[in-house]
C-alpha cells in the first residue's frame, strides 16, 4: 500500500549536486519542500514547490524528447532490424515540441492540476512567451539532431549485431555507491566484442561542458562494480554530440576516479550538514538554506515566485 512519508528518501546524483552548488534554497525547494506536494492534503508550500519543480525549459524539453526517442529507436531496431527514416523521427520530435508549446500557452489550468502530465515552459510561465532566438535555435537543433544520430559512430556500431551487444537500458538507472543510493542516467551501454571493450555512451543535445567527463567517470565506476571488471582499461566512454555530429571517445584515468570520489564525498558532507536529522532525512528550516547572491541565477530559476514569498 502507498505509504505517506514525512520526508523523502535520501539519495545522491550529479544533478542533485549541481543544483546544490547553484543555490542552497533552490535545492531545498526541489528536494525537500516539494515532498508530498502531489497529495491533496499536502501543504500550500509543498504543492507550489512541486508544481514549480515540474517546470521545464525549451532546451531541456527538447533534450528529453531526443533521449526518449533514441532509446525507442534502438530498442525497436534490436527487435526488428528496422531503421526509421530521418524525416519520420524529425516529424515526431516536432509534433512533441508543438504539444509542449500548446500545453504551456493554453493548458495552464490543466498543468496546475497535474503538473507531471502537462508541459510548462519556464519562458512562458514567467515571461509569457518563448523568445524568437530560442525558437530559431531549437529549429536548428531539430534540423540536425536525428540525421547526426543515424550517422553517429555509436548507431553504426550497434547495427553490427555480430560485433556488439547492447544492454537493457533499465539496468543503468540507480547504483549503490559508497553505501548511498545514487541515481545515474546512463544513456547506453554496449559491448564491442571485436575490440574487447565496454562502451558507455552519453547523447548530448547541447554544447560540450567541463562536467561531461566527470559524469562518465561515475558511470564507469558503476559499470566496473556491476560487471566485476578487473580494471578500467576495458571501458571506453563516449559523448556523442548531436548538434555537430562529432563524438569524443576516451579512456579514463586514475585522476578521473579520484575526482569523482572527491566530489561525491564533499557533496554528501554538505548535504548532510543541511539536515536536522540524518537518519530521517529531515531538513533544517527553510530559512537556513541560503539564497544565492547571483541575480542571473534567479532569472532562470523555477522557484522565483516562491522565493519572493518565503
Ligand atoms: S530564485 Fe534565486 S535565491 Fe531563490 S531559489 Fe531560485 S536561485 Fe535560489
Whole-number percent of the chain with pLDDT over 90: 80
Rounded to an integer, what distance in angstroms lies between the CA atom of residue 301 and that of residue 53? 10
Rounded to an integer, what distance in angstroms lies between the CA atom of residue 121 and that of residue 57? 5
Among 36-40, 230-234, 289-293, 305-309, the range scoring the smallest mean pLDDT is 230-234
Q: CA distances (Å), 223 to each of 20, 34, 126, 141, 196, in order?
A: 26, 32, 41, 31, 15
Q: How many A from CA of 257 to the centre of ligand 1?
A: 32
25 lines ligand 1 (CB under 6 A): yes
Atom of ligand 1 minimally distant from the CA of 297: 7
Nearest Cα residue to atom 5 of ligand 1: 26
Atom of ligand 1 minimally distant from the CA of 294: 2
User: Which has the higher per-residue pLDDT, 86 or 223?
Assistant: 86
**Tens digit of each residue's pLDDT (9 = 90 or more) over 273-301:** 999 999 999 999 999 999 999 999 999 99
Q: Is the dihedral of CA 69, 72, 75, 78 positive or negative?
A: negative
Residue 27 DSSP code: H
298 lines ligand 1 (CB under 6 A): yes
What pLDDT, on a 0 to 100 scale, did the predictor assign at position 54?
A: 97
289 lines ligand 1 (CB under 6 A): no
Nearest Cα residue to atom 7 of ligand 1: 298
- pLDDT of residue 174 exceeding 90: no
The cell for 275 is: 539536515
The cell for 171 is: 539496468
Which residue out of 307, 308, 309, 310 has the highest number of ligand 1 atoms within 8 Å of its CB and is therefore the one to mutate? 307
Mean pLDDT of the chain: 93
What pLDDT, on a 0 to 100 scale, did the predictor assign at position 172?
A: 67
Burial of 108 (0-12, 13-18, 19+ CB in 10 A): middle
Stated as kind and residue range, the H or E segment containing 111 is: helix 108-113
Strand stretches in the chain, DSSP E: 164-166, 174-177, 180-183, 188-192, 197-204, 235-241, 246-250, 275-277, 282-283
Amino acid at each position: 500500500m502507498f505509504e505517506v512519508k514525512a520526508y523523502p528518501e535520501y539519495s545522491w546524483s550529479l544533478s542533485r549536486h549541481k543544483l546544490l552548488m547553484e543555490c542552497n534554497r533552490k535545492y531545498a525547494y526541489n528536494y525537500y519542500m516539494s515532498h508530498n506536494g502531489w497529495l491533496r492534503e499536502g501543504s500550500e508550500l509543498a504543492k507550489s514547490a512541486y508544481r514549480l519543480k515540474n517546470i521545464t525549459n525549451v532546451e531541456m524539453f527538447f533534450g528529453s524528447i531526443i533521449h526518449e526517442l533514441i532509446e525507442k529507436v534502438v530498442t525497436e531496431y534490436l527487435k526488428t532490424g528496422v531503421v526509421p527514416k530521418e524525416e519520420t523521427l524529425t516529424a515526431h520530435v516536432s509534433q512533441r515540441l508543438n504539444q509542449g508549446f500548446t500545453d504551456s500557452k493554453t493548458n495552464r489550468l490543466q498543468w496546475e492540476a497535474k503538473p507531471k502530465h502537462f508541459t510548462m515552459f519556464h519562458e512562458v510561465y514567467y515571461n509569457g512567451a518563448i523568445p524568437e532566438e530560442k525558437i530559431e535555435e531549437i529549429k536548428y537543433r531539430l534540423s540536425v539532431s536525428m540525421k547526426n544520430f543515424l550517422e553517429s559512430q555509436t548507431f553504426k556500431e550497434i547495427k553490427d549485431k555480430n560485433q556488439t551487444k547492447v544492454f537493457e537500458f533499465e539496468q543503468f538507472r540507480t547504483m549503490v555507491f559508497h553505501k548511498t543510493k545514487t541515481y545515474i542516467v546512463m544513456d547506453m551501454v554496449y559491448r564491442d566484442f571485436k575490440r574487447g571493450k565496454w562502451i558507455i555512451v552519453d547523447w548530448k543535445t547541447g554544447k560540450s561542458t567541463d562536467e561531461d567527463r566527470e559524469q562518465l567517470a561515475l558511470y564507469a565506476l558503476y559499470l566496473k562494480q556491476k560487471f566485476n571488471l578487473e580494471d578500467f582499461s576495458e571501458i571506453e566512454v563516449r559523448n556523442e554530440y548531436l548538434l555537430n555530429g562529432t563524438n569524443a571517445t576516451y579512456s579514463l584515468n586514475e585522476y578521473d576516479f579520484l575526482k569523482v570520489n572527491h566530489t561525491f564525498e564533499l557533496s554528501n558532507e554538505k548535504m548532510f550538514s543541511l539536515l536536522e536529522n540524518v537518519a530521517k532525512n529531515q531538513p533544517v528550516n527553510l530559512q537556513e538554506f541560503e539564497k544565492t547572491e547571483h541575480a542571473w541565477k534567479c532569472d532562470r530559476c523555477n522557484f522565483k515566485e516562491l522565493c519572493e514569498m518565503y
